[in-house]
Amino acid sequence: MTIHKEGYASLILTVLLLTAVHFLSQYLLESYPIARQIILIISIALFLIVLQFFRHPKRNLTQGDKLVIAPADGKVVVIEETEENEVFKDRRLQVSIFMSPVNVHVNRYPVEGKVSFSKYHPGLYLVAWHPKSSTENERTTVVVDKPSGVRVLMRQIAGALARRIVCYATEGKEVKQGEEMGFIKFGSRVDVFLPIGTKVNVELNQAVKGGVTVLAELN
The SS3 assignment for 179 reads: coil
Q: Which of 25, 43, 96, 188 is catalytic?
A: 188
Contact 178, 63 (CB under 8 A): yes
> Is residue 111 a contact partner of residue 152, using CB atoms and an 8 Å limit?
yes
State yes or no: is 134 an active-site residue: no
Nearest 10 degrees: Cα torsion 85, 88, 94, 99: -80
The H or E element that residue 52 is part of is: helix 33-53
97 contacts 110 by C-beta, under 8 angstroms: no
**Cα pseudo-dihedral 155, 95, 129, 123, rounded to 10:** 20
Just list the catalytic residues: 188
